[in-house]
């Protein structure tokens, strides 16, 4: 990125008449949220001040997701909105994260896109220099190289409080599913040391966090010397002060049963799995390069439920993948009905530039048909979710209180059960971070409603 460094950033900041304020806006998944916390820590070290208001900012960073077309369009529209703010013409605007890497050609070649610099997921350490570089000298405005070793393990994220803390235990992905841009945007897999993870967890407990969620594009691919993800999960769950440990997301192709055994044995590990299936047709799964069959997936679900009865199980599904016939969609519908997930996140296929699917397969399922299929699956899942939640009425659930107040009432609280069902606590006063027993008296397809257990 030329001669501009962290020292140059500090000199530039010191030369400014007032403190330099940075606003970060985040789109996408939990990993993006975690990356924004990493970025805040890096900017803090460079004496850049954070602000929650873009109107007050000298610098705006948009941390982006490139997984779906809709997210990319939102970001492009948001860039133009920010430039129309009263301070928009003079602020320094950067696009960071997955979209910066995955859509470099599209973004950099779009002269109507008024962005000053781009930084990919492995280049956040360069942000102070990119921000400080004088506009006429900002020739190397793309900091997009992917790394084989960057994990930011020694950087302690600047979090914004709450009960749960995200921790990325690995970065990148080696799967190269045909529809997915993540390996191109985030690079190859590399894992943090168990010591760096557990040290971060211990520090979190000292700050009042009582739940951690371990993140990775494919967490069951975690490897560090002789350690696998199951051993890491066990170590984290035994850190004093941690009440609950969650993780996301594993891949069905290489899901080890000893990971399930660790989940069953350790009381602090939540009994919930997000296990993306994506499709119910073997032909579509093969085109997606998912490397498992429908029967493989169903067999894995059966083994998991046998080992941990009552485990919460959620999934992702893509409808309208290129060439998906009505009969193949019916296979997905039937799988959803057979497994009865607690929740399913259903997406319409969107072509991502650079992926195998974009290069080889025509996006030939119409938008209307994709919408029809997603409506059908959502209706089916809502019925299943309502049935499963209604079965809990009259029972008692242990809930970790995560928030005081809801959209409807400041007298309510909310939290999640061990198996990840959202619960609205409609009576009683609870402290955030408290584990409480709740009597369930009502339910919808999306939430349980409870009162203090007697």
CATH number for the domain that contains residue 409: 2.40.50
Decide which of 115, 143, 171 is a domain's last residue: 143
Domain containing 224 equals 161-270
Q: How far apart are the first and last CA of the chain?
A: 63
Is 50 within a domain?
Answer: yes
Is 38 within a domain?
Answer: yes
Q: Which helix (H) or strand (E) holds 249?
A: none
- Domain with residue 98: its CATH number is 3.40.50.12160
Q: Which of 73, 63, 74 shows the shortest CA–CA distance to 118?
A: 63
Looking at the structure, do residues 17 and 119 belong to the same domain, yes or no? yes
Looking at the structure, do residues 360 and 290 belong to the same domain, yes or no? yes
Distance CA 346, CA 318 (A): 6
Query: With the C-alpha atoms ordered 174, 176, 180, 184, is the resulting torsion angle positive or negative?
Result: positive
Q: Give the count of domains, the chain.
A: 4
Q: Which of 85, 87, 101 shows the shortest CA–CA distance to 28?
A: 101
pLDDT at position 453 is 87
Distance CA 194, CA 430 (A): 34
Looking at the structure, do residues 387 and 403 belong to the same domain, yes or no? no
Looking at the structure, do residues 208 and 329 belong to the same domain, yes or no? no
The token pair that represents 294 in the structure block: 């429908």
Which residue reads 């609870």 in tokens? 430
Residue 346 pairs in a beta bridge with 317
The token pair that represents 407 in the structure block: 């959209």
pLDDT at position 3 is 39
Looking at the structure, do residues 332 and 315 belong to the same domain, yes or no? yes
Looking at the structure, do residues 283 and 262 belong to the same domain, yes or no? no
Decide which of 363, 391, 419 is a domain's last residue: 391
- Domain with residue 188: its CATH number is 3.30.750.210
In a structure prediction context, what are the per-residue pLDDT tens digits for the chain, which is 454 residues long?
443 455 555 555 555 546 899 999 998 889 999 999 999 999 999 999 999 999 999 999 999 887 666 777 788 889 999 999 999 889 999 999 988 875 566 555 555 678 889 999 999 999 999 998 876 544 448 898 999 999 999 999 999 889 999 999 999 999 999 999 899 889 999 999 999 999 999 999 999 999 999 999 999 999 999 999 999 999 999 999 999 999 999 999 989 999 999 999 999 999 999 999 999 999 999 999 999 999 999 999 999 999 999 999 999 999 999 999 999 999 999 999 999 999 999 999 999 888 999 999 999 999 999 999 999 999 999 999 999 999 999 999 999 999 987 667 777 899 999 999 999 998 878 889 999 999 999 999 999 999 988 7
- Note the residue count of the chain: 454
Alpha helices in 266-398 (DSSP H): 282-288, 294-307, 326-339, 356-360, 367-390
Say if CB 390 and CB 443 are below 8 A apart: yes
Looking at the structure, do residues 298 and 329 belong to the same domain, yes or no? yes
Say if CB 201 and CB 239 are below 8 A apart: yes
Query: With the C-alpha atoms ordered 114, 120, 124, 130, is the resulting torsion angle positive or negative?
Result: negative
The token pair that represents 422 in the structure block: 């959202």
Looking at the structure, do residues 382 and 401 belong to the same domain, yes or no? no
Looking at the structure, do residues 135 and 82 belong to the same domain, yes or no? yes
Looking at the structure, do residues 18 and 103 belong to the same domain, yes or no? yes
Say if CB 347 and CB 320 are below 8 A apart: no
* 3-state class (DSSP) for residue 33: helix
Q: How far is CA 114 from CA 23, 95, 288, in A?
A: 17, 10, 35
Decide which of 251, 270, 289 is a domain's last residue: 270
pLDDT at position 2 is 44
Is 150 within a domain?
Answer: no
Distance CA 121, CA 143 (A): 9
The token pair that represents 338 in the structure block: 């057979």
Residue 35 pairs in a beta bridge with none
DSSP at 237 = H
């Amino acid at each position: 990125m030329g001669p501009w460094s962290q020292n140059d950033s500090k000199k530039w900041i010191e030369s400014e008449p007032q403190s330099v304020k940075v606003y970060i806006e985040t789109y996408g998944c939990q990993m993006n949220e975690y990356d924004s916390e990493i970025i805040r820590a890096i900017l803090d070290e460079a004496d850049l001040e954070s602000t929650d208001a873009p109107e007050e900012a000298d610098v705006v960073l948009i941390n982006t997701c490139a997984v779906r077309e809709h997210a990319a369009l939102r970001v492009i529209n948001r860039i133009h909105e920010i430039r129309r703010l009263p301070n928009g013409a003079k602020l320094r605007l950067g696009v960071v994260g997955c979209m910066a890497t995955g859509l470099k050609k599209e973004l950099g070649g779009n002269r109507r896109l008024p962005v000053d610099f781009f930084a990919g997921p492995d280049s956040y350490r360069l942000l102070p220099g990119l921000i400080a570089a004088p506009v006429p000298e900002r020739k190397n405005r793309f900091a997009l190289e992917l790394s084989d070793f960057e994990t930011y393990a020694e950087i302690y994220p600047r979090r914004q409080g709450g009960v749960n803390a995200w921790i990325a235990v690995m970065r990148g992905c080696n799967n190269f599913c045909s529809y997915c841009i993540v390996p191109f945007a985030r690079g190859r897999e590399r894992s943090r040391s168990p010591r760096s993870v557990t040290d971060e967890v211990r520090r979190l407990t000292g700050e009042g966090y009582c739940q951690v969620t371990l993140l990775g594009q494919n967490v069951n691919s975690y490897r560090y010397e002789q350690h696998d993800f199951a051993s890491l999960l066990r170590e984290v769950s035994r850190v004093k002060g941690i009440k609950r440990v969650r993780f996301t997301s594993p891949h069905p192709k290489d899901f080890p049963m000893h990971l399930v055994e660790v989940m069953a044995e350790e009381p602090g590990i939540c009994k919930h799995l997000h296990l993306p299936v994506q499709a119910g047709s073997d032909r579509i799964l093969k085109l997606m390069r998912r490397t498992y069959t429908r029967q493989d997936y169903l067999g894995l679900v059966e083994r998991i439920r046998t080992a941990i009865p009552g485990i919460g199980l959620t999934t992702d599904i893509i409808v309208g993948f290129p060439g998906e016939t009505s009969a193949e969609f019916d296979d997905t519908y039937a799988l959803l009905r057979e497994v009865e997930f607690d929740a399913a996140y259903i997406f319409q296929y969107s072509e991502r530039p650079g992926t195998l699917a974009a290069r080889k397969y025509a996006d030939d399922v119409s938008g209307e048909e994709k919408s029809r299929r997603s409506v059908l699956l959502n209706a089916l899942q809502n019925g299943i979710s309502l049935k499963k939640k209604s079965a809990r009425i009259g029972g008692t659930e242990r809930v970790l209180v995560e928030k005081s107040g809801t959209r409807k009432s400041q007298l309510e609280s909310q939290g999640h059960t061990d198996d990840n069902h959202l619960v609205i606590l409609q009576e009683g006063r609870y402290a955030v971070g408290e584990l409480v027993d709740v009597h369930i008296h009502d339910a919808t397809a999306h939430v349980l409603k409870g009162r203090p257990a007697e």
